[in-house]
């Protein structure tokens, strides 16, 4: 409603930061699973000052500028983060990017789909529901198709099938409650 427009802009920028923030969190799995927490600490010593510098440079532009700075900085640091995490590890940088980029592209298309149904004449709550439903649906559809078709996700597909079969067997073997 009135007076909250700036908050919407802040959250839009923070949503943009998630395109990099979510995969960057996954880089921690590489560090931790390989026992390279010291490298993870070193990355944080690089990452935090860069984000802090971005905040300092954005102060003259207010809260929206700080949110924009965070989103831009996160997205600029995505590839260096994975390059650092995969350096001298059995996981190659290219392999990590092959997994990340297709789903990131799905996210970009889904976000654009959500934005495309935006209409300022609608009630904000209706806009929120419609935009999130459209973008969520588009993402699930595209990501599902990507995971089903792309070779890089072969292991994930086989794990899903194995887990689904195990779950189906478990559900079938449970006694059914009697209806009274």
The whole-number average pLDDT for the span 139-162 is: 86
Report whether pLDDT(27) > 80: yes
* pLDDT on residue 136: 93
pTM, full prediction: 0.71
Residue 9 is encoded by which pair of tokens? 């802009």
Provide φ and ψ at 177, rounded to 5°: -70, 145
Whole-Å CA distances, 176 to 166, 169, 172: 18, 14, 9
86 within 8 A of 96, measured Cβ to Cβ: yes
Averaged pLDDT for residues 47-74: 96
Among 57, 53, 56, 27, residue whose Cα is nearest residue 40: 27
Please state the rounded mean pLDDT for residues 89-107.
87
């Amino acid at each position: 409603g009135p007076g909250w427009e700036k908050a919407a802009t802040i959250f839009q920028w923070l949503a943009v930061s998630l395109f990099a923030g979510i995969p960057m969190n996954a880089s921690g799995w590489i560090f931790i699973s390989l026992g390279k927490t010291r490298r993870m600490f070193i990355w944080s010593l690089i990452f935090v000052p860069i984000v802090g510098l971005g905040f300092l440079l954005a102060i003259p532009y207010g809260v929206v500028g700080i949110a924009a700075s965070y989103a831009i900085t996160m997205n600029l640091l995505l590839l260096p983060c994975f390059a650092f995490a995969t350096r001298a590890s059995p996981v190659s940088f290219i392999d990590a990017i092959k997994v990340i980029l297709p789903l990131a592209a799905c996210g970009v298309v889904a976000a654009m789909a959500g934005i495309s149904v935006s209409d300022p004449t609608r009630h904000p709550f209706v806009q929120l529901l419609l935009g999130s439903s459209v973008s969520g649906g588009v993402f699930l559809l595209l990501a599902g198709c990507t995971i089903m078709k792309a070779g890089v996700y072969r292991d994930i597909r086989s794990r899903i099938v194995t887990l689904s079969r195990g779950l189906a067997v478990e559900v079938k073997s449970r006694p059914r409650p009697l209806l009274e």
